Amino acid sequence: MFLTYLIVKRIAPRYAIPLTLIAGTLAAGTLGLLDFSHFQVALAHPVLTMPAFSLAASISIGIPLFVVAMASQNVPGIAVLRADGYTTPSAPLISTTGIASLLLAPFGSHGINLAAITAAICTGPEAHQNRDKRYTAAVWCGIFYLITGVFGATIAALFAAFPRELVVSVAALALFGSIMSCLTNAMQDARQREAALVTFMVTASGDSRCCPSARHSGVWLRAW
């Protein structure tokens, strides 16, 4: 998989990850590591659930989710935009996502935010060489999100049929470009170079005692 990634990255960078996934799937199939015994095509069906207000849930769940969304998604998301050369004002972005979350919360869509990892992929040069046309990556991302929602159970079963190593490897390779871009930007300022390096090492170590979110994403790295 890594060899495929390196070769395709040189020839057609935009298709490096899809072709790497195909190569990994073929290798897993050849080695007999694919298990489709529990795979079946199923559509998601909407279920009406009446919303009910709960003060306890608002305090014990709502406030922590707000803090997590701001600290691990919105703030790093803005940092990613700045790192990739976008100077969009932050106030309208935070306000728009907050109002959208408020209005759509009764329908189950309460977690609308800037999605730092997605932003790191969609705003990088891998999305498009022309910075003004990278929005198309976000549009396609939204379309695939809708498809994933409709076929959520099917996609989950499909990835469950893949070996864990295949899924982890593809996810890691998909973030290669974002990590390199963030490291480049983080190391440019000599005064903050050591702090950026320490942040990267703590995040990569996965030590939750130092950074609770380090186990899930490179949030601190992108924030720097």
Q: Are 26 and 33 in contact (CB under 8 A)?
A: no
107-113 LR contacts (CB < 8 Å, sep 24+) = 108/49, 110/65, 111/65, 111/69, 113/69, 113/73, 113/74, 113/77
The tokens for 2 are 């890594």
Does residue 171 contact residue 179 with C-beta atoms inside 8 Å?
Answer: no
What is the model's pLDDT at position 96? 92
The pLDDT value recorded for residue 220 is 37
- Spell out the residues 6+ positions from residue 7 whose beta carbon is closer than 8 angstroms to its own: none
Q: What is the pLDDT of residue 207?
A: 60
Q: What is the pLDDT of residue 221?
A: 40
Residue 223 confidence (pLDDT): 40
Long-range pairs for 6-14 at CB < 8 Å and ≥24 separation?
A: 13/126, 14/126
3-state helix, strand, coil in the chain (%, to 5): 70, 0, 30
**Residue-by-residue pLDDT tens, the chain, 224 positions:** 999 999 998 888 888 888 999 999 999 999 989 888 888 888 888 788 888 888 888 889 888 888 888 888 888 888 888 888 888 888 998 999 989 988 988 888 888 888 888 888 888 877 888 888 889 988 998 899 888 888 888 888 888 889 988 988 888 888 887 777 777 777 877 888 888 888 888 877 766 555 444 444 444 344 44
